[in-house]
Structure 1
């Protein structure tokens, strides 16, 4: 029974509104509910489990047993959160599980992209309206003084960050890494960012907030930001030109393979330069359209530099330098794509403002026509990221702020993170309807 009590510490943290015996019975029922959920999941194939976890924004892991256990824990916790929110809002038990599941999706989400120099957060309503969007410089340089870090984070949470309780809001925080690009060294910036992450959790938990950690790789996969021509997955296997009978020395084959690999990486980098230039052209054009839609004189189009290196020059740099160059190109393409996606949402929002306000936004019908024509050429992100008929809504002041912001990528990271999480929650509600347990209604007291 002690192990059972430990497994339900979060359940016992709620106010005690029933007698001790009833609580113990509730724990037994909760265990049965968890067993019911995992039993349903165990009947699924691994491919089906992967699809469910991907649609909910969960790390898939390896092995069916691990997937069933992890997904079962997540569904059980999500259903309990939905029931708790429903009961706190309506002061009654739901008549059906689906009635409560809809309340699992919070009215608001605050998405935070951590950085001690460039911390950004986006406050988003369930409707898709951006309520607040800021980039904040917490520190000018890395600082390890506990008192300084604690006071800076405390001031940020109390003075700038919108603080809401777990009933109506969820805080989505980018989970920090401990290594940079596989390097064994831990840089000062990574250490400070991890400290800030822990302090943010402490301050928000003290305020009674509901917090969710997000793996940034899942966000990149959701928006297709990491699907670039320089990824390792896109490289074809190199096949040596060797006849079945001839067997060249292993050393010669190794040298030839290394040379071919270097040429292949060099060609990838040259292609990535072309992709990056095209992406910069797109984001630059979007920026000019945003300026025009806001009634401002469009700034001069950003010059896009072509690659001056040919393949022979790239090959001479060697495999180690080429690997670093490819990683740099990959990060730049990812940033440009994120900015392009967010700017497409802003353009769509401004076009709808112009249509509804009869030209109240700078370009009127002309800008609506131009924007609609331009949206068709964007990435396959869609103008309705929150679902059919649900658009992002940017107030004019916020759109104007973004158009003047120099570090657009940080603002875009926190916004795409929050929007992706909201889109996952719609899938979670469907999963709860299909695989949730009816016994949860019994175990969650009023």
Structure 2
């Protein structure tokens, strides 16, 4: 039944469905249909709440957020307002800081004085980026991410080149190395935990075991950016009326937009400020008071609630810029403490990227569930 319905759709409609569900939209009608069938037809909607840890890769500026997603439903297809997503953590850390990913005590007055010192930080030794040292960093990061008890971990997929240039930058190599090590650590920990659960069940003589290891996925940043930054007025939710509109021009899924390169259609590349603006649109309604509803162009129905230190980050994020976005932020890395945050937030794009990635993953899942329901009906 689903194959017949998909076959009846035009290529532009199929590409729009792939776009709304976070799936590849390039290729012929047969290609896009095959992608949709393999990812949608066998999908079983999740019936329990989930916790997502979304990572924007970096070494000096790694950002991640922890997002609690309520029990999913198809209420977004009706007029009922969906439950808000709860942001429990939202931070940027420097992995080269000795205590960036370790539990910390509250800062003392002497810590604050050191922080505001005008002295330049000590230079980073080249040995910090060797495999022997980065491997320890990757393992500590893995344990930190797992300490939040997620059901899903999203890792930003790194590029090998920037701006399409022929050269591969040194920092790109370093971050790619850390990314590979993070995947290796998580995979090893998964296998180890699986073995431990098997042994525990055998010794206990029952089917009870420890909690399941979180699922880990890679996410293309260009696909996230192309989803949130595009033509105004285009609904990002799958509904029963999605394929009955008079026309689907597909401008939101222009390949040039997804790769960050200008195309013949005149689409401009997605810039960092565009992504920051989307997150700010989610916070603007309540001026960063801990809740935000995305009513900006092309970003409807995004409802967020921030708690703890994440609420302070949200308040600082929504505040006017105090200095250039390329300058260093004023977040005490690894301690979750904000000093002068409302006046000077500093670098926002990394924080924006991890949150955009997490919310996009939730929306893609909702749209896939809706599409699966439409195919079954």
TM-score of the superposed pair, with normalisation by structure 1: 0.51
- Residue 156 of structure 1 corresponds to which residue in structure 2? 141
CA contact (8 A) 1:349 1:393 kept: no
Q: Which has the larger radius of gyration?
A: 1
Distance 1:221 1:177 in 2: 16
How far 1:67 sits from its partner (Å)?
1.6
- Residue 123 of structure 1 corresponds to which residue in structure 2? 66
> Structure 1 residues 38, 339: closer, same or farther in 2, change over 3 A?
same
Task: Indicate whether 1:63 and 2:28 are aligned.
Answer: yes
Question: Per-residue displacement from partner, 1:322-376 (whole Å, max 9, x unpaired)?
Answer: xxxxx9xx66xx222222222232343557769xxxxxxxxxxxxxxxx99xx98
How far 1:107 sits from its partner (Å)?
1.5
Question: Per-residue displacement from partner, 1:25-80 (whole Å, max 9, x unpaired)?
Answer: xxxxxxxxxxx755653443322321211110112121122222222222255x2x
Distance 2:164 2:19 in 1: 24
How far 1:412 sits from its partner (Å)?
0.8
SS of equivalent to 2:163 = coil
Distance 1:213 1:436 in 2: 28
How far 1:223 sits from its partner (Å)?
1.5
CA contact (8 A) 2:289 2:311 kept: no
RMSD: 3.3
Distance 1:235 1:345 in 2: 27
Distance 1:353 1:137 in 2: 25
Task: Indicate whether 1:220 and 2:185 are aligned.
Answer: no
TM-score of the superposed pair, with normalisation by structure 2: 0.59
> Structure 1 residues 106, 37: closer, same or farther in 2, change over 3 A?
farther
Flag structure 2 segments of 5+ consecutive residues without an equivalent.
70-83, 97-123, 191-212, 231-256, 317-340
Flag structure 1 segments of 5+ consecutive residues without an equivalent.
1-35, 83-100, 237-326, 355-370, 386-390, 438-446
Distance 2:7 2:265 in 1: 34
Give the number of aligned pairs.
256
Select the residue among 116, 128, 133 that pairs with 2:90: 133
Select the residue among 376, 380, 400 that pairs with 2:312: 400
Bigger helix fraction: 1
CA contact (8 A) 1:339 1:412 kept: yes
> Structure 1 residues 110, 349: closer, same or farther in 2, change over 3 A?
farther
SS of equivalent to 2:85 = coil
| 1:22-421 superposed matches below 5 A | 38=3, 41-76=6-41, 79=43, 82=44, 101-103=45-47, 107-126=50-69, 127-139=84-96, 144-159=129-144, 162-164=147-149, 169-205=151-187, 206-207=189-190, 208-224=213-229, 231-233=262-264, 235=266, 334-349=271-286, 379-382=296-299, 384-385=301-302, 391-395=303-307, 397-402=309-314, 403=316, 404=341, 405-421=345-361
> Structure 1 residues 43, 174: closer, same or farther in 2, change over 3 A?
same
